[in-house]
Amino acid sequence: MTPPETDPEALGTDNIVLIGPMGAGKSSVARELARICRRRWVDTDRLVVQQAGVPITEIFAAHGEAHFRWMETAAICSLQGSSRLIVATGGGVVTEPANLPLLQALGCVVWLTADEDVLYERVSRNDRRPLLQTDDPRATLHRLLELRRPLYSACAHATVDTTTCSHGHVADAVLAQARAFFQSRDPARA
């Protein structure tokens, strides 16, 4: 039997939104959450790529980061009014101030964190992230984290550390946090 603190049914119709830096595991955890909760998951990066018809690296190369951010906001707007979704976002989603209320309006926003060294080890496994194609990607990651930490904090309703946990354990922790959030917002749901 599913322990009550992670019972997927307790989520009602609300969405769960995952934010956090590159390498935090947002997409993998979203996929795992969707499996556990039998819900659909979407990834705003994928929505942008579908819309553009080219990979993120090409969007950045051809049109620049500002254009990518504009498309990212459009993707988030397209989700407004949706229910029962697990939403994974890109690591820079919080840099556009208009996105914060849009993400919060979708449901429970959970910030996936991890130690910086672990994040770097994870993002070093491929070169799909245009912002890290610099002479010193480690320093770039550090700078981005410093800039964005307060933004994640301002946007998130809850936080889950992923440094040492499997995707399954992180998903369970996210569910517990989301359930607590929805109950505190609507005590009648308990």
Which parts of 6-136 fold into alpha helices (H)? Answer: 26-37, 44-52, 56-63, 65-79, 99-106, 116-123
Asked if residues 102 and 13 have their Cβ atoms less than 8 Å apart, the reply is no
Instruction: Specify the residue, 90 or 107, whose C-beta has the smaller distance to ligand S3P.
Output: 90
90 binds ligand S3P (CB under 6 A): yes
114 binds ligand S3P (CB under 6 A): no
With a CB cutoff of 8 Å and minimum separation 6, the contacts of 82 are 15, 106
Q: Which of 17, 19, 22, 86 binds ligand S3P (CB under 6 A)?
A: 22
Packing angle, helices 44-52 and 56-63, rounded to 10: 60
129 binds ligand S3P (CB under 6 A): yes
Residues in the chain: 190
With a CB cutoff of 8 Å and minimum separation 6, the contacts of 59 are 48, 49, 52, 67, 68, 71
130 binds ligand S3P (CB under 6 A): yes
91 binds ligand S3P (CB under 6 A): yes
Q: How far is the CB of 25 from ligand S3P (least distance, A)?
A: 9
Q: Which of residues 38-67 bind ligand S3P (CB under 6 A)?
A: 45, 56
Q: Which stretch binds ligand S3P (CB under 6 A): 1-9, 123-131, 156-164, 171-179?
A: 123-131
Q: Which of 19, 92, 107, 179 binds ligand S3P (CB under 6 A)?
A: 92
Q: How far is the CB of 35 from ligand S3P (least distance, A)?
A: 19
Q: Which helix (H) or strand (E) holds 19?
A: strand 15-19
Q: How far is the CB of 184 from ligand S3P (least distance, A)?
A: 28
Q: How far is the CB of 32 from ligand S3P (least distance, A)?
A: 15
